[in-house]
């Protein structure tokens, strides 16, 4: 596992070029999204051979209790197309540390870099058949989800596809399922926040990977007495970002196109629908040029709370901005969603930050920054953003099953083997 992490870093340029060519991710972003997974592989390598059980004394019942943790067997993972290396590491690395075999299916939109893993896995010394990589669209994933010999499946993707995976698992062998299904994350900006910092993270920070990030804070909630200042600053930031869009293979390109024509048409469909509803477009909202899947970074003002651009995951460079009067209203608006993957809070008051974080219905909360995943901490969602957690100790436990053994200490002495 450590060797594979070394090889990821050694071949970072080659792997980044493959990812960029497949789905338009800027090459600079693609490099960053390989270095993080290398660290995750090393983190879980530290667990290999160290998974221990628990023991409990007989007490009054005279029973000595042992809990041991065993691998599940053959596990599978299905990755979304927007972050192949990260999503693959979240699934494969803990499965390996726990002693399982694994089948990884990449998205048909971004298969190239993961296919290049084959040679690296062999070079790292993984035995044949321990990790298997396949590619393909939905029907291939359905075969994995319904396979009778797969003990667990981990899925990252859309909510409808996640429901289909869960249904297939239930209809087959009732395999264990973990789901990460995206979100419509809120950013709460209070009037005591450092405004330039909040603008940075809700503009250039949000636009990383062209907004195609499951936990990106696409609903921005601003305290009304600073709303005009925020809107002026974020408008300029989005206008500046539009000038930094370009060829994803070039190092100086900050923001690239959407993944493909289908995703482009989806995002433009949301924007056209917003116009029909009368939503004010502060900046952007149009295609850039007449070639490629480039969409202008877009800010929408005060859409109705039932508008699709406000409720649905767009997965593109689009934020909506609404205002709130006080903390209570901010929390109510933030939680008024079927999703619960993440949230961000911007304030100069740490007591408020922790108080609000405790009331936000989300699996991860960032304070005064967009939150970042880390090897040590779990990642996953509340509500319809998914089931289970990846990364951290929780990610390892997801690939183990506990077995309880009771020994009757009052019985005649056990014979030694």
For residue 323, list its beta bridge partners.
Answer: 222
Catalytic residue among 60, 70, 123, 180: 180
**How does pLDDT run across 14-32, given as a tens digit for each residue?**
999 999 999 999 999 999 9
Query: Residues of 210-233 as b/e, b for ≥16 C-beta within 10 angstroms?
Result: bbbbbbbbbbbbbbeebbeebbeb
pLDDT of residue 50: 92
Closest to 115 measured CA to CA, from 84, 147, 86: 84
CATH annotation of 186-361: 3.40.309.10
Task: State the chain's mean pLDDT as an integer.
Answer: 96
CA dist., res. 318 & res. 60, Å (int): 62
Q: What average pLDDT score do residues 53-66 get?
A: 94
Extents of the domains making up the chain: 2-182+376-405, 186-361
pLDDT of residue 416: 63
Structure tokens belonging to residue 173 = 């062998």
- For the segment(s) 2-182+376-405, the CATH number from 1.10.3720.10, 3.40.50.300, 3.30.450.20, 3.40.605.10 is 3.40.605.10
pLDDT of residue 372: 80
Q: For this structure, is 180 an active site residue?
A: yes
> By the 8 A CB rule, do 88 and 77 touch?
yes
Categorize the per-residue pLDDT at 371 as very low, low, confident or very high, splitting at 50, 70 and 90.
Answer: confident
């Amino acid at each position: 596992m450590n060797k594979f992490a070394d090889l990821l870093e050694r071949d970072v340029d080659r792997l980044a070029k493959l990812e960029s060519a497949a789905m338009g991710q800027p090459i600079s972003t693609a490099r960053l999204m390989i270095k993080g997974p290398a660290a995750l592989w090393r983190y879980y390598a530290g667990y290999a051979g160290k998974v221990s059980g628990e023991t409990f004394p007989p007490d009054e019942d005279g029973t000595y209790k042992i809990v041991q943790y065993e691998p599940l067997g053959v596990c599978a993972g299905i990755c979304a197309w927007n972050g192949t290396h990260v999503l693959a590491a979240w699934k494969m690395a803990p499965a390996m540390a726990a002693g399982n075999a694994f089948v990884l299916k990449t998205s048909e939109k971004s298969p190239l870099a993961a296919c290049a893993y084959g040679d690296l896995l062999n070079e790292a010394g993984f035995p044949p058949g321990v990790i298997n990589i396949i590619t393909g669209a939905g029907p291939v994933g359905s075969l994995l989800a319904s396979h009778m010999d797969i003990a667990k499946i981990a899925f990252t993707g859309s909510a409808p596809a996640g429901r289909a995976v869960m249904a297939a698992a239930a209809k087959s062998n009732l395999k264990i399922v973990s789901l990460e299904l995206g979100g419509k994350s809120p950013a709460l900006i209070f009037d005591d926040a450092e405004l330039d910092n909040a603008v940075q993270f809700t503009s250039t920070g949000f636009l990383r990977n062209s907004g195609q990030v499951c936990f990106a804070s696409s609903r921005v909630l601003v305290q009304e007495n600073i709303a005009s200042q925020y809107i002026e600053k974020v408008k300029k930031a989005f206008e500046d970002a539009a000038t930094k869009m370009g060829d994803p293979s070039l190092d100086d390109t900050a923001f690239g196109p959407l993944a493909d024509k289908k995703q482009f048409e989806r995002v433009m469909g949301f924007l056209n629908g917003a116009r029909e509803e009368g939503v004010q477009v502060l900046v952007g909202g149009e295609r850039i040029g007449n070639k490629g899947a480039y969409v202008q970074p877009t800010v929408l003002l005060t859409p109705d709370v039932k508008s699709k651009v406000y409720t649905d995951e767009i997965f593109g460079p689009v934020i909506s901005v609404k205002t709130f009067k006080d903390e209570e209203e901010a929390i109510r608006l933030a939680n008024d969603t079927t999703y619960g993957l993440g949230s961000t809070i911007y304030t100069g008051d740490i007591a408020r930050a922790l108080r609000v974080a405790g009331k936000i219905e989300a699996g991860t909360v960032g304070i005064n920054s967009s939150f970042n995943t880390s090897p040590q901490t779990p990642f996953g969602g509340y509500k319809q953003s998914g089931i289970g957690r990846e990364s951290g100790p929780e990610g390892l436990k997801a690939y183990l099953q506990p077995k309880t053994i009771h020994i009757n200490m009052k019985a005649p002495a056990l014979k030694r083997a």
